[in-house]
Chains A and B, each alone.
Chain A
Amino acid sequence: MCLLGVAVSVAMIVSILSISHGMRNSLNSYMKESGASLVVFDRSAADLAFSKVTAEEVDKVRNIPGVEEVSRANFTMIMGPRLGDKSPAGAGLGIIPVFGRFYSERMIRKYESKLIAGRLPSRRDELLLGDLAARKLKVKVGDRFPFFREELLGISQYEVAGIFETDLSWENLGVVAHAEVVQQKTGPDFALIFVYTAPEDTARVRDEVESKIPRLIARRASEFTDRFNEQLAYIDEFIFLLSMIAGIVGVLGVLNTMMMSVSERTRELGTLRALGWTGRRVLGVIVIEGTFISIAGGLLGMGFGFLGTELLLAFFSRGYLIASYLPETFLHGFLLALLVGLLGSLYPAMRASALQPAEALRYE
């Protein structure tokens, strides 16, 4: 039971850490692949979903010397359309991320090398679908279907212009729609803008954006996730808190098991003391035993964590979550198990080492 308790605690930590790393890594890749020099967004937004960059601010950025081009981006999430007979079992697809892009702007070109069918969209009633989205919606290039449930800008049917595939499963599950159409859902502001400059101008442009529009923050695409990671600090705090809770549960489990073990083996421990073992040696043996059990639970938990995460992602996340299994994650799990073993067995070990041999041998 103790072994299983530690295993579950470690599995939980491994799973959450791997998913958290996966999310961060996938965002890193997404931003790097944009090819933009800078990513500009709302400094005070706790999450990109709440970031707002106005059209006036976009113009101000565009007019900064050294800015070659600006691509505006907005974002929403919709419930997948019901496609009648075309839809699997007639049911909705679930949540679909919708990336709003202007088809005339440079950002859309990143999909050029990712196309597996069709072409880049050019009209407002055209869509670019991720491979997974196309498969789930059961649509192919040239199909027309009512992507949004309402008529937006007078458009009710959207044509699939192309289908792309990237390494990011949540992007593959998404749909690129014209930013003006998406604006009908999100309002006139943009979530972020991608700024293209010559490499030697990037630093200066970044400083100028931030000095001219203090409300906005400009980061190199490669630094974006650093900033984003700051915003995701609450995830670290959550993981720390969860580690603490898992650790406390594990310590209590080991403590209980080792207390019972010491109690059941009182005569045995008395015999060892009678045979010349010192209290310190008995303490060491109990601590090693508790730690060994805990580490065995930890190793089991790492396996459970890996398998559990894979099963979770395969059956429930529908591709929105990605796990990244880093050595640090498993080290974290191992150290947690080690600490749990040491702390959980220390008190029983101290009790055992304090046993007087004559008294222990009398124990019934």
Chain B
Amino acid sequence: MNEPIVRVNKAKKTFEGGLVIALDEVSLEIEAGSFVAITGPSGSGKTTLLNIVGAMDVPDSGEVFIDGELAASGRELDSIRARKIGFVFQMHNLIPALTARQNVEIPMLPRPLTSKERKTRALQLLDEVKLKKRAESSVQGLSGGERQRVAIARALANAPPLLLADEPTGNLDSRTGSEVMDLLHEQRERVGATLILVTHNEELCRGADQHIRMQDGKIST
């Protein structure tokens, strides 16, 4: 077996001075290029797990390796996030003052690219998500589905090997949600990335290579 894209070894994470155990010595491995669904009730620890796997947080104890790199300290986390991870949030989290294209360019800003290169790449990605015509529109003028498509394009900006999506359809109607998921899968397959999806919706988990169910900070199955 190849080196897993994500390896979590006995990760423990607590909040409120140890009173709340969000993750309780969780261990898991995720194969590169797979589709992984994480489900579980509210407070079960799935978002905490996603944050740790996404190098947005570190466990109190245990280890996390992302694409072979230990995600342990602030600077390493910044670097891992910039190079290896693309996020799609439930609330899309686009910068309202910017256009769709400018939002897609944000993750590319720390990279040594010219503004022309960034613009070309952003337009190409918006074309992939069928929003090229709205590239110069303010994101405030876009519908919920369009905004999430911009967020997918943004997540793909640096061609990360790992795509993390936290309830990406949570704020969308079922039809738009379905379209967004189709697009997410299409893009994942196109670039060969690993997709880790956190959701309440069991429907969205169909076709998952790995289904992680969380309960009280532990993986239940």
Contact = CB atoms under 8 A, between A and B. Distances in A.
Contact of A275 (B51, B57, B75, B154): B154
B82 A267 contact: no
A272 interface: yes
Interface stretch (B106-114, B119-127, B173-181): B106-114
Given A281-B110, A358-B51, A358-B57, A276 B93 contact: no
Nearest to B157: A275
A273 B57 CA distance: 11
Contacts of A273: 56, 78, 81
Nearest to A271: B93
Contact of B82 (A276, A279, A358): A276
B200 interface: no
Consensus secondary structure, chain A interface: helix
Given A277-B110, A278-B110, A356-B57, A271 B95 contact: yes
B217 interface: no
Interface in A265-299: 267-268, 271-279, 281
B107 A276 contact: yes
B158 interface: yes
A279 B78 contact: yes
Contacts of B95: 268, 271
Contact of B106 (A275, A278, A356, A361): A275
B168 interface: no
Chain B interface: which size bin? 20 to 34
B54 A274 contact: yes
Contacts of B154: 275
Interface residues of A, number: 16
B35 interface: no
Given A275-B154, A356-B56, A358-B57, 11 more contacts: A267-B93, A271-B93, A271-B95, A273-B78, A276-B81, A276-B82, A276-B85, A277-B109, A279-B78, A281-B110, A361-B89
Interface of B: 51, 54, 56-57, 74-75, 78, 81-83, 85, 87, 89, 93, 95, 106-107, 109-110, 154, 158
28 contacts: A268-B93, A268-B95, A271-B93, A271-B95, A273-B56, A273-B81, A274-B54, A274-B81, A274-B93, A275-B82, A275-B154, A276-B78, A276-B81, A276-B82, A276-B83, A276-B85, A276-B107, A276-B110, A276-B158, A277-B109, A278-B82, A278-B110, A279-B78, A357-B57, A358-B51, A358-B56, A358-B57, A361-B93
Interface of A: 267-268, 271-279, 281, 356-358, 361
